[in-house]
Each structure stands twice: as structure tokens, then as C-alpha cells.
Amino acid sequence: MAASPRALFRLVVASARSRVLLLPPPARPLLGARACSTGAQFHYLAVQKTGTQQNVGLIQLNRPQALNALCEGLMEELRRALEAMENDPQVGAIVITGSQKAFAAGADIKEMQNKGFQECYSSGFLSGWDKVSTVRKPVIAAVNGYALGGGCELAMMCDIIYAGEKAQFGQPEILLGTIPGAGGTQRLTRAVGKSLAMEMVLTGDRISAAEAKEAGLVSKVFPVDKLLNAAIACAEKIASNSKLVAAMAKESVNAAFETTLAEGTRTEKRLFYATFATDDRREGMTAFVEKRKAKFTDS
Ligand code: HXC
């Protein structure tokens, strides 16, 4: 079962006690009715702002009866939540998580079962998922349990993946007579190399958190109950820097996946020069010289 928002809050507070991480009660509407353009509440997500500075956007996938299978309604809400966080100047980084049993068990198979080619093609089925990979603010996936198919692809659309030690990653679409359709063959291959990606995509076999760490798919592995706090702590660290410059850093790292080394280093140089047009670059270097902590203004 996925944790309810209140249970999630208790879990986070309990495991945060030794780390002095203060979180708001989940009852506080994070990006709920007021912040969302549609004004609607979320049905498949629990969404809140957290961290001592309230500068981390936390999205919990909350469809426990289907192991967070990514139905169209859930993905639509996820897009809305991400958009609200993009537009919230207080939020400097975003964490996406699921339950202890499942980050997400894939796209919703029951929803896909009777679709035909024409419907998929004409409607651009799954194209809305791209929103996750085009968010400018840094996004961390905190993965406990299953991250399968579209769940693994969703995690890979994020910028950083932290895993709980019982997490399992896989692209089992081949067992359903299809192939990954939201970047699995591309992002997995770039992350873990051809041989392991081919093996996972062609057999449908899963890998453990430890194997994912060894292969470079995830950056850190934590005990199950420590994962979320670790992800939030990382997000807080990121959010304490200049949001403007963090977006530039993210854009530059992402260029490494999309272009040649020569073009990528040119992109990097342009963005590096661009930081010299910001107040935050001046403040960061001045603070160093004056031996004080920088006060970034995201300008
Ligand atoms: C719809 C799903 C689901 C999914 C689980 N459920 N995964 N429903 N789509 N992807 C539902 C089950 O039908 C069941 O509901 C409930 O969640 C619990 O699942 P169980 O199978 O009973 O749980 P368990 O025995 O613990 O097995 C867990 C599991 C298994 C190993 C994760 O559920 C599983 O193999 N799921 C499918 C994983 C998968 O193939 N993912 C790729 C999907 S294709 P009911 O009501 O029936 O009891 C995909 C394409 C991506 O992602 C293309 C681009 C996005």
C-alpha cells in the first residue's frame, strides 16, 4: 500500500528526527487549488512543498491499488503539478516518489489493452509524457519498489535517481508483445550501455537497486525508509543555489545526451558566458572573496 499523505508525512518526520529536517503537515495545500491553473485538486497524486525553506516540490504518485500504474489521468495530473512547480518561484527542485512497494509499475496496461495503431498514432499516445523531461527545474526520482516499463522511463526522465535498496528496475514490455515507448530504449542505453540495456529490453528481466547503482542508472542507494529524506535533502541542497544558474547547468548537462562533443562544449561555453550576465554569478564569486555565504536572488 502507498502511504497516505499523512502517513507519508509521519514517515518523513520520523526518519528526519535525527537529521533536523522540518516538514510541513500534509494538510497544508502545496500546489493545490490555489496554485494550479485549473483549480482542481489531485486525485492520483499527493503534492506539497517541503524542506526547511519550503523550496522543494514533493510529488507522491498515489494510486496504490494499481501499483501507481501510470494511467492517462495520473499523467495529466503529473503534468499539471510540474507546471505549477515550474511557475512557483519558491520551488528550486522537485522530488517525484511513489510508495514503498512501487514507484510505478508501468503505463496502465488495462488502458492500453484495446487500443489500435490508428488511435495511438492519431492521438499522439504518450506524447504528453515529454513534459517530465522538459521541466527546467531539477527533478529527483526517489524510487522504492517497482520501477517497471513506463515507471522506469519516468524515473529516467528525471535528472537524478535515488533508489531504496529493494527497488527493482525493468523494461518488461517485450513480455507484453510491445517495446518501451517513452524513451526506455534510448535513455536506458545511454545510462547503462548497450549490453545491459539490450538484455533488459529483450528479456524483460529486472535489475536490483545495487545492480542499477553499479551500472550508473542511479546515483545513490539508501535503506527503504531513509530514501525520501535523502532525496529531499539533495533537493534542498540544489534549491539553496541560484535557480537561474541551476537551470543553465541542467540545460548544459542535458546537451551531452543530445549532441556531439563539439556542439555540447559550445553550448556549455555559451551558457557559462551567460552566467556572467547574472547577479548570482557576481554574488557567488564576491561572497567567496569576502569569505561569506552567498545570498542568491535568482537573478
Ligand atoms: C495496470 C497494473 C499494472 C499496470 C500492476 N497493476 N501493474 N494495472 N497496469 N502496469 C495492477 C494489477 O492488475 C493489480 O490490480 C494490482 O496492480 C496489483 O498488481 P499485482 O500483479 O497483483 O501485484 P504483484 O503480484 O505484487 O506483482 C507486481 C508486479 C506486477 C510484478 C509489478 O503487477 C506486474 O508485472 N505488473 C506489470 C508490469 C509491467 O509489465 N509494466 C510495463 C507496462 S507496459 P487488480 O485490480 O488486477 O488486482 C509499459 C509501456 C510503456 O509501461 C510505454 C511507454 C510509457
> pLDDT tens digit string along 27-40?
334 443 333 333 45
Q: Does residue 269 surpass a pLDDT of 50? A: yes
Q: Which of 92, 105, 173, 249 is catalytic?
A: 173
Q: Where in the chain is the domain with CATH 1.10.12?
A: 243-289
Q: Which tens digit of pLDDT belongs to each residue from 118-133?
A: 999 999 999 889 889 9
* Distance of CA 111 from the midpoint of ligand 1 (Å): 12
107 is catalytic: yes
Task: Give the mean model confidence (pLDDT) for residues 59-84.
Answer: 97
Mean pLDDT across the chain: 89
pLDDT of residue 40: 52
Report the CATH architecture of 5-239: Alpha-Beta Complex (3.90)
Lowest-pLDDT choice from 37-41, 112-116, 136-140, 204-208: 37-41
In this prediction, residue 293 has a pLDDT band, given cuts at 50, 70 and 90, of: very high
Whether 94 is in the pocket of ligand 1, judged by its Cβ within 6 Å, is no
**Nearest CA, atom 25, ligand 1:** 67
Q: Which tens digit of pLDDT belongs to each residue from 155-174?
A: 999 999 999 999 999 999 99
pLDDT of residue 242: 98
Whether 146 is in the pocket of ligand 1, judged by its Cβ within 6 Å, is yes
Whether 170 is in the pocket of ligand 1, judged by its Cβ within 6 Å, is no
Whether 198 is in the pocket of ligand 1, judged by its Cβ within 6 Å, is no
pLDDT of residue 41: 84
Rounded Cα distance between 200 and 101, Å, is 21
* Distance of CA 154 from the midpoint of ligand 1 (Å): 15
pLDDT of residue 4: 52
Whether 149 is in the pocket of ligand 1, judged by its Cβ within 6 Å, is yes
Whether 201 is in the pocket of ligand 1, judged by its Cβ within 6 Å, is no
pLDDT of residue 20: 30
150 is catalytic: yes
Q: Where in the chain is the domain with CATH 3.90.226.10?
A: 5-239
Q: Does residue 277 surpass a pLDDT of 60? A: yes
pLDDT over 90 for what percent of the chain?
A: 84
Task: Measure the CA angle with vertex 172, ends 114 and 163; round to 5°.
Answer: 125
**Nearest CA, atom 12, ligand 1:** 66
Q: Does residue 21 surpass a pLDDT of 80? A: no
CATH topology of domain 243-289: Lyase 2-enoyl-coa Hydratase; Chain  A, domain 2 (1.10.12)
* Distance of CA 21 from the midpoint of ligand 1 (Å): 34
Whether 2 is in the pocket of ligand 1, judged by its Cβ within 6 Å, is no
Task: Give the mean model confidence (pLDDT) for residues 206-221.
Answer: 98
pLDDT of residue 35: 38
107 within 8 A of 53, measured Cβ to Cβ? no
How many residues does the structure list for the chain?
A: 299
Q: Does residue 15 surpass a pLDDT of 60? A: no
Task: Give the mean model confidence (pLDDT) for residues 282-299.
Answer: 97
Distance in Å from the first CA to the final CA of the chain = 43
* Distance of CA 149 from the midpoint of ligand 1 (Å): 10
pLDDT of residue 130: 86
Grid coordinates in use for 268?
Answer: 556549455
* Distance of CA 60 from the midpoint of ligand 1 (Å): 18
Task: Give the mean model confidence (pLDDT) for residues 106-121.
Answer: 96
Task: Give the mean model confidence (pLDDT) for residues 225-243.
Answer: 98
* DSSP per-residue string spanning 228-283: HHHHHHHHHHHHTS-HHHHHHHHHHHHHTTTS-HHHHHHHHHHHHHHHTTSHHHHH
Task: Give the mean model confidence (pLDDT) for residues 45-60.
Answer: 97
**Nearest CA, atom 29, ligand 1:** 105
Question: Is this model's pTM higher than 0.85 or not?
Answer: yes
The single-letter DSSP state of residue 17 is G
Q: Does residue 285 surpass a pLDDT of 50? A: yes
173 is catalytic: yes
pLDDT of residue 178: 98
Task: Give the mean model confidence (pLDDT) for residues 66-95.
Answer: 97
Nearest to 133 by CA among 238, 30, 39, 258: 258
